[in-house]
């Protein structure tokens, strides 16, 4: 591996889900590795990953990323079947999976993917336990953000 490519894999964001902070109130943060195929790693290095509408599901005691799209490269091998929307297994501890199952079934949480990034040579997924916001919650957040911006302007002008 060349030095330039190795530095690229050391850190950095691959994909973000910016809509998640607006649509959900995020509470507990989790990080998990992903079981990926070779063509998916090559596509991720080229920046062809999208997690905008993705979430995590628990099935048979294992966590899966659902709804993420990794577009295959045009130069992909012809004998490999590339499914851009397949479910990808997340590598989590049993304790973390049990916590997710409990929160989902007891408290009605959902698990929303917010970021995909490099951590060393591995691809990691950041996701949160979240509850969906209602329309008035979103308006309150917008109002608070506007008020804090207005306060900053007032403080800036009063210092002059």
Per residue in 108-137, pLDDT (tens digit) is: 889 999 999 999 999 999 999 998 877 777
Contact partners, residue 89, CB within 8 Å, separation at least 6: 34, 35, 62, 63, 64, 65
Q: What percent of the chain stands above pLDDT 70?
A: 91
Fold adopted by 11-134 = Small Protein B; Chain: A; (2.40.280)
pLDDT interval class at 9 (50, 70, 90): very low
CA 103, CA 106: separation in Å to the nearest integer? 5
* All structural domains of the chain with their residue ranges: 11-134
Phi and psi for 88 in degrees, rounded to 5? Answer: -115, 130
């Amino acid at each position: 591996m060349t030095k330039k490519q190795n530095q690229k894999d050391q850190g950095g964001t691959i994909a973000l889900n910016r809509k998640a902070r607006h649509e959900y109130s995020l509470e507990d943060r989790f990080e998990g590795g992903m079981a990926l195929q070779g063509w998916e790693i090559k596509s991720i290095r080229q920046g062809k990953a999208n997690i905008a509408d993705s979430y995590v599901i628990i099935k048979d005691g294992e966590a899966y990323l659902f709804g993420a799209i990794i577009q295959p490269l045009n130069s992909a091998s012809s004998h490999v079947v590339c499914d851009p929307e397949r479910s990808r297994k997340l590598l989590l501890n049993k304790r973390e999976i049990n916590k997710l199952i409990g929160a989902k079934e007891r408290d009605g949480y959902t698990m929303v993917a917010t970021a995909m990034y490099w951590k060393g040579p591995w691809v990691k997924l950041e996701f949160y336990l979240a509850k969906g916001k209602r329309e008035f919650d979103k308006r309150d957040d917008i109002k608070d953000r506007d008020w804090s911006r207005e306060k900053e302007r007032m403080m800036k002008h009063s210092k002059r």
